[in-house]
Chains A and B, each alone.
Chain A
């Protein structure tokens, strides 16, 4: 990663990486064991609609509980070997479905209905696509979405997945845009791409806007601000102002599903090696990350760090068995010798974080409140909720304080307090 430059008149600039032209992804073979995650806590009492020993086909829709509409798509063919809970980040639980993989066999349920390109088909079959299409967000009439922003740039540094999709799968994206256009209420679709890559896209059915190449301009809130001129209020989601941000891969997958009459199952991933070099791979969703590392001869040792996402805003996982999910845009491996500890030094008020913060947060004051666990005051007076969690404050902190981490903790704690208070009221 970039170090503080010798000449540092203004804040350090972190530029997004450009994808190398002609870059092709390495195809990872289908794993022998695949893992699929349900974004729901495993409930032992509620009888799952499938159980160990059941056979599933590629593209088959799996519903966990009868009383819920949520489903996942099996990305492989095989026998379910276990259904178990999985503890994730911030006390979140998933239901993990393990499948022993056998020869690919396609499920034909989607093929039968795919001729009819309706919203219902999208809702019923396409919520588990590579790129993580946020179906609930733009199909929920309560959200009143009128604008969709497609991001052709990855929000984190070193990650080039979306750029690859925009460069190589434009026809899928155009098809995807056509389908998004047919959603009632949507009157504006914008494709946001790098400022320096604005070459002719022709008539793609969406307005092409360019955004800055400087980190963190591809974060959702900043993309909306730069391409639409709208500002997401602090603590709110883009959906609250009628905007939905979708990454390019999800739109391309949506288009590909109808072009090929098959639900796509392969995810494009930027794999960032220990030396910081990126490499594109294409893997079946559900492939354990360990299998990808093995295929590329990357060794992961005791004390290393495995990150889903990029160096600034990714999330770490504790096991190599973690699978590739629809939103796994990047996998980063960090050597233990590179990992720098944070310190318990106080803020020295140097102002570097203030200058680099894209959201104009008074970080120097905020961190003093957060250290004292005064979360509510931090939110009321020092703009805790304006934070977009880009991590730049921690990156430049001369005291090496875990500022961004403190902010996430504060938001988590406040969410807990607010839930408890709402329950008591």
Chain B
């Protein structure tokens, strides 16, 4: 019967809650936008250029890979744009154009697409891009040198470098309220602590990032830095200073929470977050780098598949090894 009306058949369930990857990506970019705008305001057009170039090239790299691998275009999900934005937020405002393009190339192609695209990357793609650039052209990331020609109405030294080289006494020139309100130098998107925290809170409320990771990250960072400070007040800065400087808040809310490279079970999320916070403080206080957020997160990304094996017993599971 050719003119019989045909019904659609498929298996249950027959409904969906309407969530989309693009909503997720857009929300993350929206949450990061205030911090980026603050960076653009502080550093002017060079920062705008870096952000625009970074996001656009990230999308272009993703599209080129889609064409090359003859797969459907995935730029519509917004994930490439998010990665481009995260890379831009980690760059100093005066980053040369070729470094931006190289950074997004490494982030999108090496960090994400060679693993099969979204969901397959074992590391945070943006951090892969930044880490490779840091290892190759470290002087780009020397904040004090990069921002040499700027005039600020606050202390122009990069707080973490000041702490590393001039000791705790240099910390006195920064006040915490100023740091929170973005009166500090740094990469484009990492300075404005209040905006990052509010953005992170927004993402947590919307359910787009996992609060367990952010909170355990920050808690571990505060506790570890407090222990260091109590151990030797003359040598180590306090917890709130570490909370508000460098990439801490950017890392806690936007980088460590990247879906594919972080755990999803409760205990693993706590271990992962806490491990990252601990590593950040170890690198900052004992290691060679001024800021350890990027390497700490990458290191914990590495442990993700292992620790995410800790999970609750499935219903009705019978342990056959006992």
Chain A residues at the B interface, C-beta cutoff of 8 Å: 1-4, 6-10, 12, 221, 225, 231-236, 300-307, 309, 311-320, 332, 334, 336, 339-340, 342, 345-352, 354, 358-362, 364, 383, 385-386, 388-389, 391-392, 394-400, 402, 404-405, 408
CB of B14 within 8 A of CB of A345, answer: no
Contact between chains at B9 and A318 (CB < 8 Å): yes
- Asked if B70 CB lies within 8 Å of chain A CBs, one says no
Per the 8 Å Cβ criterion, residues 204-234 of B in contact with A are 204-207, 210-211
Q: Is the CB of A313 within 8 A of B13?
A: yes
Q: Which residue of A lies closest to B318 (CB)?
A: A233
CB of A306 within 8 A of CB of B317, answer no
- Determine whether the beta carbon of A334 is less than 8 Å from that of B316: no
Candidate in B16, B24, B120 with the most chain A CB atoms within 10 angstroms: B16
Q: Evaluate contact between B316 and A231: CB separation under 8 angstroms.
A: yes
With a cutoff of 8 Å between Cβ atoms, the chain A residues found around residue B14 in the complex are: 305, 307, 311-312, 314, 316, 332, 334, 339
Given A305-B14, A314-B14, A346-B116 contact (CB < 8 Å): yes
Partner of B19, one of A301, A304, A364, A398: A398
Whether B5 lies near A394 (C-beta < 8 A) is: no
Q: Which of B149-173 contact A (CB under 8 A)?
A: none
Contact B7 A311 (CB under 8 A): no
Query: Distance (Å) between the CB of A205 and the closest chain B CB?
Result: 30
Q: How far is the CB of B222 from chain A (nearest CB, A)?
A: 22
Given contacts A1-B15, A311-B15, A336-B8, 20 further A-B contacts (CB under 8 A): A1-B17, A4-B19, A9-B205, A225-B315, A234-B315, A301-B5, A302-B5, A304-B8, A316-B8, A317-B7, A334-B14, A339-B8, A345-B119, A348-B21, A348-B119, A349-B119, A349-B260, A351-B210, A389-B12, A395-B16
Contacts of A339 in B (CB 8 A): 8, 14
Contacts A336-B8, A405-B11 given; indicate if A221 touches B315 (C-beta within 8 A). Answer: yes
B26 to nearest A CB, angstroms?
Answer: 13
- Please determine whether A316 and B11 come into contact, CB atoms closer than 8 angstroms: yes
Residues of chain A with a CB closer than 8 A to B13's CB: 311-313, 391-392, 394-395, 404
Interface of chain B, main secondary structure? loop
| B contacts with A, residue count (CB < 8 A) | 44
- A302 touching B6 by the CB < 8 A rule? yes
14 contacts between A and B (CB under 8 A): A4-B17, A225-B315, A234-B314, A301-B5, A316-B14, A339-B14, A345-B21, A346-B119, A348-B260, A349-B260, A358-B315, A359-B314, A364-B264, A408-B11
Nearest CB on A from B304, distance (A):
9
Q: Which of A232, A345, A396 contacts B17 (CB 8 A)?
A: A396
Which residue on chain B has the smallest CB distance to residue A1? B15
**Chain A interface mostly:** loop
B21 in contact with A399 (CB, 8 Å): yes
Q: How far is the CA of A409 from the CA of B241 in the complex (A)?
A: 54
Contact partners of B21 in chain A: CB under 8 A = 345, 348, 398-399
8 Å CB interface, B71-96 against A: 77, 79
Interface centre among B17, B116, B206 (most CB of A within 10 A): B17
CB pair B7–A349 under 8 Å, yes or no, is no
Pairwise interchain contact B206-A7, C-beta atoms closer than 8 A: yes
Which 4 A-B pairs have CB atoms at the shortest separation, nearest pair first? A8-B207, A351-B264, A391-B13, A383-B314
Q: Which residues of A contact B264 (CB under 8 A)?
A: 349-351, 354, 364
CB distance from A155 to the nearest CB of B (A): 11
Taken together as a complex, chains A and B put the C-alpha atoms of A300 and B21 apart, in Å, by 33
**Residues 1-47 (chain B) with a chain A CB within 8 angstroms:** 5-21, 24
Nearest-neighbour CB distance to chain A for B70, whole angstroms, equals 14
B117 near A346: Cβ-Cβ < 8 Å: yes
With A301-B5, A408-B11 in contact, do A395 and B259 touch (Cβ < 8 Å)?
no
B265 interfacial contact with A, CB 8 Å: yes
Cβ of B9 and Cβ of A317 under 8 Å apart? yes
A346 CA / B317 CA spacing, docked (Å) = 27
Residues of A within 8 A of B260 (CB): 348-349
Whether B7 contacts A300 by the Cβ 8 Å rule is yes
Check A395/B7 contact, CB under 8 A, given A346-B120, A349-B264.
Answer: no
Complex contact A234–B206 (CB within 8 A):
no
Q: B288 contacts the other chain (Cβ, under 8 Å)?
A: no
Task: Let me know if B131 is at the binding interface, CB within 8 A.
Answer: no
